[in-house]
Structure 1
Amino acid sequence: MREFTIQPLNEACMEACQLRVDNLTKPIYSLAQLEKIAVRLAGIYNVEQPNHIKNGVIVFAGDTAVDGKQNLTKGEESLRAVTRLGSGHSATEAAAKKLDATVYTVDVGLEQATDTVAGVSNKKVANGAKFFGKGPAMTVETMEKALEVGFAMAEELANKGVQAVALGNVGERALLSALAVTAAITQYPMTELLTDNECTLSIQEKAERLTATLARYELSPAQPLVVLQHVGSLEIAAMVGFYLGAAVNRLAVVFDNAVTGAALLVARAINPSVMDFVFQSAAYNEPVHKAQMKFLGISPYLYYNLEMDEALGSVMGLSVVDAALHMLNDMKTFGEATVTVAEDGPGNKRQDGR
């Protein structure tokens, strides 16, 4: 993996932004997360009052366990999903249009060929990741290539002037990789990450088998790239590279589901500073996602009971980022509105009529 440096947030800009937020015509601290988002964006963009940022959406596509017994569709479902995304008629595209955000769909590891699919960027490293129950999901070489795809896409979007990105995924059996990565990084009991489904095995039986499988690799959160290579997937690897590349290029990234969350766990284990540049979005009932949020110590902003990937939850979260900037720039301070500031109460030391 390439060498990189993530610069810290600009604390001076954040303090100046916080002072403006505190002096907006509202009870101090009353807009909670919107205030925190705006202040962090100031630190990311090195500007005291960020405004009119350019949004983007990127979806990395890859299939998991293509050599496993559960692969009955041979990637056809994923192909239909990226074809819909590429056509511009997806739910993701509809939501992105409201934010003037271009949707980029990147094939990094789909089983099916996408060379002739309109609107899909073909960066394919391999035709899917292998089933980690048989052997490592990827070779070191394919993992590194997938990481580089993510890094390069972050640089490409930054060069196009994009400043905030909604991140998403497409791919069959992606949750299997997310489960394994999450178990290895968090070290949570497997039973905490599983749910009942149509499988004939009980949760306890599934947990025992998966735990035994992962134990063969002797995975440790101290070696995140080893975890990624053995039980991850190509699109998760690309998203790891994208998180890191986005932080290097000072892009804000909104993530949503368990798959984008698994990539964040790996990126954070590689460099904790990446967390300064990411924003959570939707809450999911899925236990892997819940475990990730618990481990990261964060709470999603939104709940839609979404059951689809394709960055839809992230795009909805990007609208919250957009709302934070409208708060910062469309509201007036006490001084601008010539309103008397609080002389007592919690705002009396921060609200000075500016």
Structure 2
Amino acid sequence: MTLEQVLERIPPLDAEAMAQAKQHWDALAKPLHGLGDLEDILIRIAGICRTPRIDLRNKAVVVMCADNGVVAEGISQSGQDVTQIITENLGKGTSTVCHMARAAGADVIPVDIGVASDIHGSGVVHRKIARGTHNFAKQPAMSRDQAVQAIDVGIETALLCRQHGYDVVATGEMGIGNTTSTAAVTAALLHAPVELVTGRGSGLTSEGLVRKIQVVTRALEQWQPNQHDPIDILSKVGGYDLCGLTGLFLGGALCGLPMIIDGVIASAAALCAVRLCPTVRDYLIASHHTAEPAGVLLEQALDVKPIIDAHMALGEGTGAVLLFGMLDAAASLYTNGNTFDDSNIEAYQPLS
């Protein structure tokens, strides 16, 4: 299936399933809309899955791993070797998100979509497009064909998750330098000032932040990515992890698999997916407010409302994984809770 065919086949949410889910929430013996945003999320999950019978027991976090050539410009305090180390640790089950995912009962699926080094050991899905992107301070990050290939990897990964029986997937990433790529992509998508969308990433000094802003500014001036063409933006100043995440959101919408946005990098990819297919906007489930400065602008552009505000900036999908526990609790009440009829309680009436 071509990317164009995927974009054409993404359906709207199932309005009838959502109406039935809303009716069921209102029949439970609790104040109307007592769980607030959590009720709304489960209603949308019913629309995504096209059934009011909600089951979120089988969970996964997909972590797209890739290197960014722009690290050669000194925009990160870590070297590319860290991407290899953490990717292999993801495969071993020892990275940060792995511990958090086990607590949430979720599997971790790391995908090498563009790590600069060979990845050793088991547990990593090997779908490498190239050994990292080019340094976009010197040349475009990748070709347009490579960007499409990476998006296709994301789409295929979402479809495989559905085939393997997962009910919900969190989106994560790993790649030194990817907050720089994300800042460039966000500035291009939103036509926003670079200094407004560029943060310290994993911990830059003030001098390093100035250098990072200068690198992104010059790259955008030199390559002139088309604001209305997400693939052009991704190919010129993006990363393979961003492309893969874009495809994950598209594939999730195509096959009715709820996909949870993590932080700023996943949010930028989600906006790329929405720009490619506006229907995808209704499928997005936001997890947490990111500490990166571009986060608020991306949330506004996506019209999403994250419900966790913990000042997180870790990556790997950790913020999205935290939402699993909240959704499990809400789904338990949704599935097992007593109704007003069960409890011999007079039903609450909506206030005018």
**TM-score clears 0.5:** yes
- Determine the structure 1 residue equivalent to 2:68: 64
- From 86, 110, 114, give the equivalent of 1:109: 114
Counterpart in the other structure of 2:87: 82
Deviations 1:196-252 (A, max 9, x none): 74253785x865663343133332331111111111111111111111011101110
For 1:200, the equivalent position in structure 2 comes to: 207
Q: Which residue of 2 is the match for residue 318 of structure 1?
A: 324
Q: Which amino acid aligns with 2:124?
A: V
Shift of 1:268: 0.8
Aligned residue runs from structure 1 range 175-194, under 5 A: 175-194=179-198
In the other structure, the counterpart of 1:256 is 262
TM-score in terms of structure 1 length: 0.90
Cα distance in structure 1, aligned partners of 2:182 and 2:234: 10
Q: Residue 247 of structure 1 aligns to which amino acid in structure 2?
A: A
Pairwise CA distance, 1:267: 0.6
- What is the alpha-carbon distance in structure 2 between the residues aligned to residue 100 and residue 206 of structure 1? 38
What's the CA shift for 1:52? 4.7
User: 2:101 matched to 1:96?
Assistant: yes
Deviation at 1:87, TM superposition (A): 1.3
The gaps in structure 1 that reach 5 residues or longer are: 348-354
**3-state SS of the aligned residue for 1:305?**
strand
Structure ID, larger Rg: 1
Secondary structure of the equivalent of 2:117? coil
Mapped partners of 2:256, 2:82: distance in 1: 34
More helix by proportion, 1 or 2? 2
Confirm whether residue 268 of structure 1 aligns to residue 274 of structure 2. Answer: yes
Deviations 1:23-74 (A, max 9, x none): 2111112211111011111111121231354211110100112572328865
1:129 and 2:133 are equivalent in the alignment: yes
Question: Mapping of 1:276-295 within 5 angstroms?
Answer: 276-295=282-301
Partner-residue secondary structure (3-state), 1:219: coil
The offset of 1:291, in angstroms, is 2.1
Residue aligned with 1:295, SS: helix
Structure 2: tracts of 5 or more residues without a match: none
Moved more, 235-244 or 66-75: 66-75
**Structure 2 partner of 1:46:** 50
Please give the secondary structure, in 2, of the residue aligned with 1:240.
Answer: helix
- Name the SS for the 1:145 alignment partner: helix
Q: Distance in 1 between matches of 2:184 and 2:298?
A: 12
- Matching of residue 340 in structure 1 with residue 346 in structure 2: yes
1:112-142 Cα offsets, whole Å, 9 max, x none, are 111x222111111100011222111001222
Change (3 A) 1:86 1:212: closer
Q: 1:17: which partner in 2?
A: 21
Stretch deviating more after TM superposition (81-90 or 31-40): 81-90
In structure 1, what is the Cα distance between the partners aligned to 2:223 and 2:14? 40
CA distance in 1, matches of 2:55, 2:162: 17
Is the counterpart of residue 247 in structure 1 residue 247 in structure 2?
A: no
Q: Deviations over 1:136-181 (max 9, x none)?
A: 1001222122112111111111110112101100011000110011
Post-superposition offset of 1:284: 2.0
CA displacement at 1:260 relative to structure 2 = 1.0
Q: Which residue of 2 aligns with 1:148?
A: 152
Number of aligned residues: 344
- 1:173 paired residue number: 177
Asked if structure 2 preserves the Cα contact closer than 8 Å seen for 1:66 and 1:128, the reply is no
CA contact (8 A) 1:165 1:318 kept: no
> Partner residue of 1:228?
234
Distance 1:10 1:201, change over 3 A: closer
1:34 aligns with 2:38: yes
Once the two structures are superposed, what CA deviation does each residue of 1:276-307 show, in whole Å capped at 9, x if it has no partner?
22211122221022221132232321123323
1:56 and 1:166 in contact (8 A); partners too: yes
Question: Aligned residue for 1:352?
Answer: none
Partner of 2:305: 299
Distance in 1 (alpha carbons) for counterparts of 2:322 and 2:286:
11
Residue 164 of structure 2, aligned match among 157, 160, 165: 160
| Counterparts of 1:48 and 1:202, CA distance in 2 | 47
Q: Residues 37 and 324 of structure 1 are in contact (CA less than 8 Å); yes or no, is this contact kept in structure 2?
A: no
1:321-349 Cα shifts (integer Å, max 9, x gaps): 2233123112222112221123x6628xx
